[in-house]
Structure formats: structure tokens, C-alpha cells
Chain A
Amino acid sequence: MAEKTQSAEFIPRLLPPWELLAEGHRGCQGCGEALALRQILKAAGPDTIVCSATGCMEIITSPYPETAWRIPWIHVAFENAAAVASGVEAGIKILQKHGRYREGKVNIIAIGGDGGTADIGLQALSGALERRHDFTYVCTDNEAYMNTGIQRSSATPFGASTTPSPAGKESIGQRTEKKDLPMIVAAHNLPYLATACPSYPLDLMNKTRRALSTEGPTYLHVLSPCPTGWRHPIDMAVEMGRLAVESGVFPLYEIIDGKLRLNVEMNKRRPVAEYLKPQGRFRHLGPEQIEEIQRFVNEYYDRLIYRSQCDAEAPPTPHEE
């Protein structure tokens, strides 16, 4: 498993020492999203400009007049983080051309939650990807609108109880399946796309570095466990991410120049029930529904394995070494 290789290579002194997301931000206790952001910014470094859509990460870091960011940061409306990031990128390009901005690469990161990416910001993201701006979009996916009180988004998985889709006598919670956002983004034919999880910090940081150093638009989909919304114990955010990956609910993969590669191909996976059980939002599910979710996950995972095998046999792309 990835965990083993990780602890073998993990040397904290070799990791970037800077904390660009200052301590003292108002994230909930045990927030997986703040953890993901902290690791991403560690990898990105101080030469970074962040454009943030409305969402948890904006709320907790910038209660006026304080900010938790130690890098230039702009908050914009829910729908246009990608559009503003394109503007920042184009602006820097033209200022550099006229010699009014220092030379060298500036990392531009747009951050949106799953609501700001899959629902509200999808058109801005699509536009920015299509215009081929050189930036990285990070979607921190906690599977609902958590900052306003756990409202369902299109990235909420089947069976999850949220405030507008509560579980009860007549309802099993969210009725539809999670939108496969990384694949929608991959359809824009990006040079680099990856899914990651803060439970695997080195993997997340390596993917961030690769995304930022790749020319052109890149995308990171980061699963961010949320103790408040998923209703699991506050010390379990990292554990939940690990369970999601090991059960196949959230497979870690990269798509490089259209070729999908699974980071860990697991033929033997944990049962999905182990992932669902600690979470209060799935507490009401009966054995049949859990079996149904297991079937969804198996089908999805098999499709990914099949695609990765097909892509491995495909002729090499021009960029491939």
C-alpha cells in the first residue's frame, strides 16, 4: 500500500518548513480541508497567488480584518475563482512583457470547494481550461456545502444524509450519485490532472508540484474529510481519507496528456462498509443500500482499471519521455 512506501520515505526535515496558511485560522477541529490546503501550500511555496471561491476555506481564513494567508490572496464570488485566476495569469503575463513585474514563474492557484467547482463555478472553470491559461485549479471536495450547514451539492455521494436531503421514513438521503467531476475536467484534454487526499501527504505534495510545474491548465481533485458534515469523530479526518482510498470509494489516479494511471491498483480492497460505518451521514443505511454502494464502487473501480490498462498499451503521446 501507499502508506508503507510513504513512512519509509517520510523525512520531515526535507519538507518545506514554511506555513503559508497561518495557525489561528478558524477551521473546525480536525478539519481535513485545512489540512489539505496546508500541505498544498507547503508544496507550492511563497511564489504563489491564490484566488479563492467562496467556501469553507475562504470563511475560516479571512474573518475581516484578519487573514490566515501569508501569500497574496483574493476572495471572489462563488462562481468565478477560475475566471479571476485567468485574469491574474493574463495580467502577470502582460506586466512581465512590459517589464513592470519581476521575471520568473509565479504559481497561480484557484481554489474552490465541491460546490464552487461542480455546481456554481463549473462554467468559469470550463472556460478557463478551454482558454489554456497557465494555472492550477484545486477542488477541495468535502462532498457538500459545509460552510452554510451541510447542504447537498452535486458531489454528495449516494445515501448521504444532508440538511436538504435528510434521511427519514420516506427518504434514504441523497438519491443521486456523486458527479464524476475529475472526468468532466479531463474531457478538456488537460496536460495534467490528479486526484489526491491529505491522508497521503507526500503524494498530495508531489502532485501539487507536478501540477504547478506543468505548463497550461492543471487540475487537482482533493478529497477533504469534514468531521462536521460527515459526522465522524474529530480525530478521524486522516483515517477517513485513508479508508476512502483503500475501499476504492476515492481512487487516486493521474491523467497525464490523456493517459490515465492509477497510483495504486488495488485488486483487494477494504469493504465499503468500513468507510461508511464511522460516518453519521450514512448511519441510516441498511445492508441492501450498502451492497448497492459496494456495487457502484466496484463497477467504477473496474472501469478505471480497464481504462488504465488500455491507456498503458496506447501509443506514447508526444510529451511522453
Chain B
Amino acid sequence: MADGPTWKEYPMAATISEPGSATGQNTGDWRSERPVRNPEKCDKCGICWIYCPDAALFMDEEGFYEVDLYHCKGCGICARECGKDAIEMIEEGE
């Protein structure tokens, strides 16, 4: 900590001026299983997207929901809630 900034360099009252700066955090390395989508079964309903606690899904140009593996913590809610069983959890490293 000695090399880091001291209290004098931090803004007053510990304000954080950059909104959403936690985005830089790689929470994806918590993951032990990763979701893999089967594009043939997926009907783009978006249930996985609305149920993701980490907002780790985004829509690609074709309207499919892709997983942002930098932030996905691998909880598996998307795989469980998918009505079409289009998402499968695969162990990391396979």
C-alpha cells in the first residue's frame, strides 16, 4: 500500500466520479462452468437475458443473446430458466 496513492490524492468525501467503473473487474474468473448456447434450439426469447444477475448477456446483430465471458460468473440461471434447453453449462477447461 505504501506505493499507492495516499488519502490526499483521493477526491473529497470518497466520491467516485466515474460511473460504472466496476465494469473493468474480471468477475469471469470466478467461473467453474461456462454457458454454451446451441443456436439451433435458441428462439431469441431473451429469458436468459432478463434473468442474468450480472447483466452478462448482450444481443448480437442477429438477435441472439451472447455471453460476455469476461463478466459471467457461471451461476447457470440462464441454463436452468431457458425454456428451450438451448443453453448448456460446460465445465471450464474442457
Which A residues contact B (CB, under 8 angstroms)? 7, 10-13, 15, 19, 21-27, 29-32, 34-35, 38-39, 61-71, 198, 201, 227, 234-239
Contact = CB atoms under 8 A, between A and B. Distances in A.
B53 A38 contact: yes
Contact of A67 (B20, B59, B76): B20
Contact of A238 (B26, B49, B51, B59): B51
A30 B52 CA distance: 8
Contacts of A67: 16, 18-22
Contact of B68 (A7, A23, A70): A23
A69 B14 CA distance: 15
Interface string B27-52: 10010000000000000011101111
Given A10-B46, A23-B54, 15 more contacts: A10-B45, A22-B22, A24-B24, A24-B71, A25-B22, A25-B54, A26-B22, A34-B54, A62-B16, A65-B21, A66-B24, A67-B21, A201-B51, A235-B80, A237-B77
A221 B81 CA distance: 23
Interface of B: 10, 14, 16, 18-27, 30, 45-47, 49-56, 59, 68, 71, 73-77, 79-81, 83, 89
Among B21, B30, B47, find the residue whose CB has the most chain A CB atoms closer than 10 A: B21
A26 B59 CA distance: 23
Contact of B77 (A21, A71, A235): A235
B50 A15 contact: yes
Given A12-B45, A12-B46, A237-B53, A26 B75 contact: no
A198 B51 CA distance: 8
B28 to A, nearest CB: 9
A13 B63 CA distance: 9
Contacts of B24: 24, 66
Contact of B23 (A22, A38, A236): A22
6 contacts: A24-B22, A24-B23, A31-B53, A234-B75, A235-B77, A235-B79
A21 B21 CA distance: 11
Contacts of A64: 14, 16
B82 to A, nearest CB: 11
Given A23-B68, A29-B30, A66 B77 contact: no
Pairs A-B, 9 closest by C-beta atoms: A12-B46, A30-B75, A235-B76, A22-B20, A35-B53, A68-B22, A24-B25, A23-B71, A24-B22
Contact of A38 (B30, B55, B79): B55
A30 to B, nearest CB: 3
A209 B23 CA distance: 27
B16 A26 contact: no
